[in-house]
Amino acid sequence: MNQHTSPNGQLIQLTGVTKTYPMGEGHIVALDDVSLGLRSGEFSGLVGPSGSGKTTLLNIVGSLDEPTSGQAVVLGEDVAALNEKRAAQLRNLHIGFIFQTFNLLAVYSVFENVEFPLLLLRQPAEQRRQAVTEALDRVGLADRATSRPHQLSGGQCQRVAIARAIVKSPQIVLADEPTANLDAENSHNVIRIMEDLNRDLGTTFLFSTHDEKVVGYLRRTITLADGRVVADETRSSEP
Protein backbone atom coordinates (compact mmCIF):
# COMPACT_ATOMS: atom_id res chain seq x y z
CA MET A 1 0.00 0.00 0.00
CA ASN A 2 1.31 3.39 -0.86
CA GLN A 3 1.77 5.22 2.42
CA HIS A 4 1.46 8.96 2.77
CA THR A 5 2.52 10.21 6.14
CA SER A 6 3.34 13.52 7.72
CA PRO A 7 7.03 14.33 8.40
CA ASN A 8 6.80 12.87 11.89
CA GLY A 9 5.60 9.52 10.52
CA GLN A 10 1.92 10.01 11.44
CA LEU A 11 -0.80 9.06 8.97
CA ILE A 12 -3.08 11.64 10.55
CA GLN A 13 -1.72 14.58 12.51
CA LEU A 14 -3.97 17.13 14.19
CA THR A 15 -2.34 20.14 15.81
CA GLY A 16 -4.34 22.60 17.83
CA VAL A 17 -7.48 21.93 15.80
CA THR A 18 -10.43 24.08 16.72
CA LYS A 19 -13.78 24.04 15.01
CA THR A 20 -16.54 26.51 15.71
CA TYR A 21 -19.97 26.91 14.17
CA PRO A 22 -21.97 30.12 14.07
CA MET A 23 -25.02 29.94 16.27
CA GLY A 24 -27.28 32.97 16.48
CA GLU A 25 -25.24 35.96 17.58
CA GLY A 26 -22.32 33.87 18.78
CA HIS A 27 -20.85 30.49 17.96
CA ILE A 28 -20.48 27.02 19.41
CA VAL A 29 -17.18 25.26 19.82
CA ALA A 30 -17.27 21.72 18.45
CA LEU A 31 -13.55 21.06 18.77
CA ASP A 32 -11.28 22.97 21.08
CA ASP A 33 -7.53 22.84 20.54
CA VAL A 34 -7.34 19.15 19.68
CA SER A 35 -3.92 17.73 19.00
CA LEU A 36 -3.34 14.06 18.28
CA GLY A 37 -1.69 11.76 15.79
CA LEU A 38 -2.58 8.36 14.33
CA ARG A 39 -0.09 5.96 12.86
CA SER A 40 -0.75 3.56 10.03
CA GLY A 41 -2.55 0.38 11.04
CA GLU A 42 -4.12 1.77 14.20
CA PHE A 43 -7.53 0.51 15.36
CA SER A 44 -8.69 3.53 17.27
CA GLY A 45 -11.86 5.06 18.48
CA LEU A 46 -13.17 8.43 19.48
CA VAL A 47 -15.50 8.04 22.44
CA GLY A 48 -17.53 10.49 24.34
CA PRO A 49 -21.09 11.69 24.80
CA SER A 50 -23.22 13.22 22.03
CA GLY A 51 -21.98 16.68 21.13
CA SER A 52 -18.46 16.00 22.30
CA GLY A 53 -17.06 16.57 18.79
CA LYS A 54 -16.48 12.98 17.59
CA THR A 55 -18.24 13.34 14.24
CA THR A 56 -16.74 16.79 13.64
CA LEU A 57 -13.29 15.38 14.15
CA LEU A 58 -14.03 12.46 11.79
CA ASN A 59 -15.33 14.91 9.17
CA ILE A 60 -12.13 16.95 9.37
CA VAL A 61 -9.98 13.85 9.09
CA GLY A 62 -12.13 12.76 6.14
CA SER A 63 -11.58 16.16 4.45
CA LEU A 64 -15.35 16.72 4.44
CA ASP A 65 -14.80 19.72 6.70
CA GLU A 66 -11.89 21.89 7.68
CA PRO A 67 -10.73 23.32 10.99
CA THR A 68 -11.51 26.88 11.94
CA SER A 69 -7.98 27.11 13.29
CA GLY A 70 -5.11 24.73 13.80
CA GLN A 71 -3.81 22.24 11.32
CA ALA A 72 -5.10 18.84 10.19
CA VAL A 73 -2.66 16.89 8.06
CA VAL A 74 -4.08 13.72 6.57
CA LEU A 75 -1.88 11.48 4.44
CA GLY A 76 0.56 14.33 4.14
CA GLU A 77 -2.06 16.80 2.95
CA ASP A 78 -3.15 19.87 4.90
CA VAL A 79 -6.93 19.55 4.85
CA ALA A 80 -7.50 23.31 5.05
CA ALA A 81 -5.30 23.87 2.02
CA LEU A 82 -7.13 21.41 -0.22
CA ASN A 83 -9.52 22.71 -2.82
CA GLU A 84 -12.78 20.84 -3.29
CA LYS A 85 -11.51 18.76 -6.19
CA ARG A 86 -8.34 17.71 -4.43
CA ALA A 87 -10.24 16.90 -1.24
CA ALA A 88 -12.63 14.74 -3.26
CA GLN A 89 -9.65 12.97 -4.83
CA LEU A 90 -8.16 12.33 -1.41
CA ARG A 91 -11.39 10.73 -0.22
CA ASN A 92 -11.85 8.86 -3.46
CA LEU A 93 -8.37 7.34 -3.40
CA HIS A 94 -7.47 6.90 0.23
CA ILE A 95 -10.41 7.19 2.61
CA GLY A 96 -13.37 4.88 3.14
CA PHE A 97 -16.45 5.92 5.11
CA ILE A 98 -18.86 3.85 7.16
CA PHE A 99 -21.97 5.59 8.46
CA GLN A 100 -24.36 4.90 11.30
CA THR A 101 -27.31 4.70 8.87
CA PHE A 102 -25.34 2.67 6.31
CA ASN A 103 -26.10 5.19 3.51
CA LEU A 104 -26.34 2.54 0.80
CA LEU A 105 -27.68 3.63 -2.57
CA ALA A 106 -31.20 2.26 -2.58
CA VAL A 107 -31.56 1.65 -6.31
CA TYR A 108 -28.27 -0.22 -6.56
CA SER A 109 -27.73 -3.89 -5.81
CA VAL A 110 -25.24 -4.99 -3.15
CA PHE A 111 -22.65 -5.62 -5.87
CA GLU A 112 -23.25 -2.21 -7.47
CA ASN A 113 -23.05 -0.43 -4.11
CA VAL A 114 -19.67 -1.97 -3.41
CA GLU A 115 -18.56 -1.37 -7.00
CA PHE A 116 -19.44 2.34 -6.87
CA PRO A 117 -16.11 3.69 -5.48
CA LEU A 118 -14.24 1.67 -8.09
CA LEU A 119 -16.33 3.22 -10.87
CA LEU A 120 -15.28 6.62 -9.57
CA LEU A 121 -11.69 5.42 -9.80
CA ARG A 122 -12.39 4.29 -13.38
CA GLN A 123 -11.04 0.82 -12.78
CA PRO A 124 -11.49 -1.76 -15.57
CA ALA A 125 -14.55 -4.01 -15.31
CA GLU A 126 -12.66 -7.22 -14.58
CA GLN A 127 -10.58 -5.58 -11.88
CA ARG A 128 -13.74 -4.18 -10.34
CA ARG A 129 -15.48 -7.54 -10.40
CA GLN A 130 -12.58 -9.22 -8.64
CA ALA A 131 -12.26 -6.51 -6.02
CA VAL A 132 -15.99 -6.44 -5.28
CA THR A 133 -16.19 -10.23 -5.04
CA GLU A 134 -13.23 -10.27 -2.67
CA ALA A 135 -14.70 -7.50 -0.52
CA LEU A 136 -18.06 -9.23 -0.33
CA ASP A 137 -16.34 -12.47 0.56
CA ARG A 138 -14.56 -10.74 3.42
CA VAL A 139 -17.83 -9.50 4.89
CA GLY A 140 -19.60 -12.81 4.20
CA LEU A 141 -22.12 -11.47 1.70
CA ALA A 142 -20.92 -13.00 -1.56
CA ASP A 143 -24.23 -14.82 -1.88
CA ARG A 144 -26.25 -11.57 -1.58
CA ALA A 145 -24.53 -9.71 -4.41
CA THR A 146 -27.73 -9.25 -6.42
CA SER A 147 -29.91 -8.25 -3.47
CA ARG A 148 -31.11 -4.70 -2.95
CA PRO A 149 -30.45 -2.88 0.33
CA HIS A 150 -34.12 -3.07 1.32
CA GLN A 151 -33.87 -6.88 1.16
CA LEU A 152 -31.10 -6.97 3.77
CA SER A 153 -31.07 -6.80 7.56
CA GLY A 154 -29.40 -3.89 9.34
CA GLY A 155 -26.32 -5.99 10.09
CA GLN A 156 -26.06 -7.07 6.48
CA CYS A 157 -26.43 -3.47 5.29
CA GLN A 158 -23.58 -2.40 7.54
CA ARG A 159 -21.44 -5.24 6.20
CA VAL A 160 -22.16 -4.01 2.67
CA ALA A 161 -21.11 -0.54 3.80
CA ILE A 162 -17.88 -1.99 5.18
CA ALA A 163 -17.25 -3.81 1.88
CA ARG A 164 -17.86 -0.54 0.04
CA ALA A 165 -15.44 1.27 2.34
CA ILE A 166 -12.62 -1.25 1.95
CA VAL A 167 -13.08 -2.32 -1.69
CA LYS A 168 -10.66 0.30 -2.99
CA SER A 169 -8.07 -0.68 -0.36
CA PRO A 170 -8.03 2.73 1.33
CA GLN A 171 -5.38 3.70 3.85
CA ILE A 172 -7.95 5.02 6.28
CA VAL A 173 -11.48 3.91 7.11
CA LEU A 174 -13.56 6.34 9.12
CA ALA A 175 -16.57 4.79 10.83
CA ASP A 176 -19.12 7.10 12.42
CA GLU A 177 -21.10 5.17 15.04
CA PRO A 178 -21.06 2.01 12.91
CA THR A 179 -22.93 -0.11 15.45
CA ALA A 180 -25.42 2.41 16.72
CA ASN A 181 -28.27 0.92 14.67
CA LEU A 182 -27.34 -2.71 15.25
CA ASP A 183 -28.21 -5.27 17.90
CA ALA A 184 -25.51 -6.84 20.08
CA GLU A 185 -24.85 -9.83 17.84
CA ASN A 186 -24.61 -7.76 14.66
CA SER A 187 -22.45 -5.17 16.43
CA HIS A 188 -20.10 -7.93 17.46
CA ASN A 189 -19.98 -9.37 13.91
CA VAL A 190 -19.40 -6.02 12.29
CA ILE A 191 -16.64 -4.98 14.66
CA ARG A 192 -14.94 -8.36 14.25
CA ILE A 193 -14.97 -7.98 10.51
CA MET A 194 -13.32 -4.57 10.80
CA GLU A 195 -10.81 -5.91 13.24
CA ASP A 196 -9.93 -8.71 10.78
CA LEU A 197 -9.55 -6.20 7.97
CA ASN A 198 -7.30 -4.07 10.12
CA ARG A 199 -5.14 -7.05 10.94
CA ASP A 200 -5.11 -8.58 7.43
CA LEU A 201 -4.86 -5.47 5.30
CA GLY A 202 -3.23 -3.06 7.70
CA THR A 203 -5.98 -0.54 7.09
CA THR A 204 -6.16 2.23 9.67
CA PHE A 205 -9.58 2.41 11.34
CA LEU A 206 -10.86 5.40 13.24
CA PHE A 207 -14.28 5.06 14.87
CA SER A 208 -16.55 7.42 16.62
CA THR A 209 -18.66 5.58 19.11
CA HIS A 210 -20.24 5.60 22.51
CA ASP A 211 -21.03 1.91 22.32
CA GLU A 212 -19.25 0.09 25.17
CA LYS A 213 -19.17 -3.12 23.11
CA VAL A 214 -17.12 -1.36 20.45
CA VAL A 215 -14.85 0.30 22.99
CA GLY A 216 -13.86 -3.15 24.20
CA TYR A 217 -12.35 -3.93 20.82
CA LEU A 218 -10.39 -0.70 20.39
CA ARG A 219 -6.65 -0.77 20.80
CA ARG A 220 -6.58 2.96 21.33
CA THR A 221 -9.36 4.98 22.87
CA ILE A 222 -9.43 8.74 22.56
CA THR A 223 -11.99 10.28 24.84
CA LEU A 224 -13.54 13.62 23.93
CA ALA A 225 -15.60 15.89 26.13
CA ASP A 226 -16.85 19.32 25.09
CA GLY A 227 -14.58 19.27 22.07
CA ARG A 228 -11.39 18.53 23.98
CA VAL A 229 -9.33 15.38 24.27
CA VAL A 230 -9.61 14.38 27.88
CA ALA A 231 -8.00 10.95 27.66
CA ASP A 232 -5.94 9.00 25.16
CA GLU A 233 -5.33 5.40 26.17
CA THR A 234 -3.56 2.70 24.23
CA ARG A 235 -4.04 -0.93 25.14
CA SER A 236 -0.96 -3.07 24.93
CA SER A 237 -2.67 -6.39 24.16
CA GLU A 238 -5.72 -7.44 22.13
CA PRO A 239 -8.95 -8.26 24.01
Site string for other proteins, 3-42 (x = CB under 8 A): ----------------------------------------
Please name every residue paired with 15 in a beta bridge, in sequence order, or none if there are none.
71
Smallest gap, in angstroms, from Cβ of residue 79 to other proteins? Answer: 13
Cα separation, 215 vs 213, whole angstroms: 6
Cα separation, 18 vs 11, whole angstroms: 19
Smallest gap, in angstroms, from Cβ of residue 234 to other proteins? Answer: 28
Residue 85 found at the interface with other proteins (CB under 8 A): yes
When computed from its CA atoms, the radius of gyration of the chain, rounded to whole angstroms, is: 17
Only one of the segments 67-75, 106-114, 199-207, 224-232 lies at the binding site for other proteins (rule: CB under 8 A); that segment is 106-114
Number of residues that make up the chain: 239
Cα separation, 143 vs 169, whole angstroms: 22
Site string for other proteins, 37-76 (x = CB under 8 A): ----------------------x--x-xx-----------
Whose Cβ is closer to other proteins: residue 86's or residue 199's?
A: 86
Among candidate residues 75, 77, 60, 163, the one with its CA nearest the CA of residue 113: 163
Q: Which of 116, 205, 207, 217 binds other proteins (CB under 8 A)?
A: 116
Residue 99 found at the interface with other proteins (CB under 8 A): yes
Smallest gap, in angstroms, from Cβ of residue 6 to other proteins? Answer: 22
Residue 108 found at the interface with other proteins (CB under 8 A): yes
Residue 85 corresponds to which amino acid? K
**Strands (E) located in 26-135:** 26-38, 43-47, 69-74, 77-78, 95-98
Provide the edge-to-edge strand list for the sheet that holds 12-23.
26-38, 12-23, 69-74, 77-78
Only one of the segments 87-95, 179-187, 190-198, 207-215 lies at the binding site for other proteins (rule: CB under 8 A); that segment is 87-95
Whose Cβ is closer to other proteins: residue 23's or residue 106's?
A: 106
Among candidate residues 117, 173, 110, the one with its CA nearest the CA of residue 137: 110
Cα separation, 9 vs 44, whole angstroms: 17
Which residues are near other proteins by CB under 8 A? Answer: 59, 62, 64-65, 84-85, 88-89, 91-93, 97, 99, 101, 103, 105-108, 112, 116-117, 119-120, 122
